[in-house]
Structure 1
Amino acid sequence: MKERDRKPPARRPGGKPAGKSFGKPGGFGRPPAWRERGSDHDEPVILYGWHTVSLALANPQRRIRKLYLTENAARRLAEEQIPTRVTPEIVRPSEIDRQLGPDAVHQGLLAEADPLPSPDVETLEAAGMVLVLDQITDPHNVGAILRSAAALGVKAIVTTARHSPEATGVLAKSASGALELVPIVTVQNLARALGRLNERGFQTVGLDSAGSEKLAAIELRQPLALVLGAEGKGLRQLTRETCSVVARLDLPGDIKSLNVSNAAVLALYIGASQLGLMP
């Protein structure tokens, strides 16, 4: 076996090796904080936490394989009339702790599910806003971006098949249910996908501190694709060259740069305001 083909040992989202599994022998496998997309489509997506799991249960497109609940969580689901869709296994909180690690805030809910299908970039509606992520790998950041995208009515998020976090574990928890609300379009070649968006009439605006124009000063129009790069590296050269314009976010305070998830919500707010999408 080649070195690159070796699979890492099972790990909790916190990075520690997973403990003994409950349920059938072998448990639910490894619930990684992130892994490259396409690494193993047979592995279940691991979802935990109230918003994450309850919205997954309410999503008819999400196939739930297994559901582990504490008694309190099962009672709350029943009170809020959220169907479990599969027969849950009632467990103690400590048993879920053992799977996820003591730092995971699971609120008594843990589910194994199939990944949601990835739409094709050609099927995206040419209206509103989409968000394009250029190799942003931190699952907390991508999860927070997803949550902001859901709040601001983003139609879809486009990301790369490699060098992006899998929609499971920490990312799913950070997204707080937004995985069920914002489709994720996975592409092999981001520059090619951006080129196709350009051809379809999207205004593709890259965000970079060295951008030639202020984002707020640009006349934005629908359909709009906002493109964000990874912290530190920013947009890759080919990504920058494929965008129709590269803009910056000017800030009035002493700190002139933002975490990428904060930059995303500010850019989305500016975009939604200019496009008349705000209530």
Structure 2
Amino acid sequence: MGVYHAGSRAIQDEAGVRDRAEHVGRSLGQDIKPVAAAFLEDQPLLVVGAADPGTGRVWATPLTGAPGFVRATGPRRVSVDGDTARAFARRLGRDGPRRVGTIALDPRTRRRMRLNGRLHPTATGFTVEADQVFANCPRHIQRRESYEAVDRTPGTPRHLTELGAGETDFVRAADTFFLATVHGAGADASHRGGNPGFVRVVSPRELAWPDYPGNAMFLSLGNLRTDPRAGLLFLDWDTGTTLQLTGEARTESAGDGTRTVRFTLAEALWTPAAVPLRWSAPEYSPANPDTAR
């Protein structure tokens, strides 16, 4: 498959950015360059997006470990090891390779790297054979200067079919979330950021957020154009609590060229203290538009 499928190209054409997208698309490749390998090996957090083989629902899942738990083991392969990686691979099953999207984001440097490909379980976790490897600009990434690994026992996960008052406040306070999407030949995991309040809770089962201008590739929105399934991950960067949402999303375009994404919830998973990391307070990106709380 080429860099873009029909869904992404349709939105690029609507936005009038096909030429820019073609230029940016030349940065996508399959090889993991040395600078990318070094970046991955320094990260304690990796977010993976994939469809559940049983239900077909798409989830974004945080995996953690000491730096080095993600590492390049070949020019087109990464290895992800540890307890969270093994548990994730078991949930996906062993019936052939699974399509996954991954993103590593470093708030200290406001850098992010995405690697999409095919997951193979291993005795220590899993490997991903890369189909796409690329970095994104730092727009809308909040800077967090440092983190510490903390000894936490995750709380019992709580399954929800709608958001209550606590989950609503959690979403409204978020400055970052991760978005997992799929298409006919793969999966993708991406980042969305803004000032607190940029994600609106329209109802207990519907969220909405603005699609801020970015790299013009429209990989995520292109996937949603062809397959509306989506997974969202909200993370409390201090307490490690996570809120994972799965459902369907659609994009609405306005006459002034702006876009809003609307997400309808099917199922949610609330897990206290899920991530054993505590990050420093954020310095909001200067690219973030003002948000009415």
TM-score by length of 2: 0.24
> Which structure has the highest helix share of the two?
1
> Which structure has the highest strand share of the two?
2
TM-score by length of 1: 0.25
Structure of greater Rg? 1
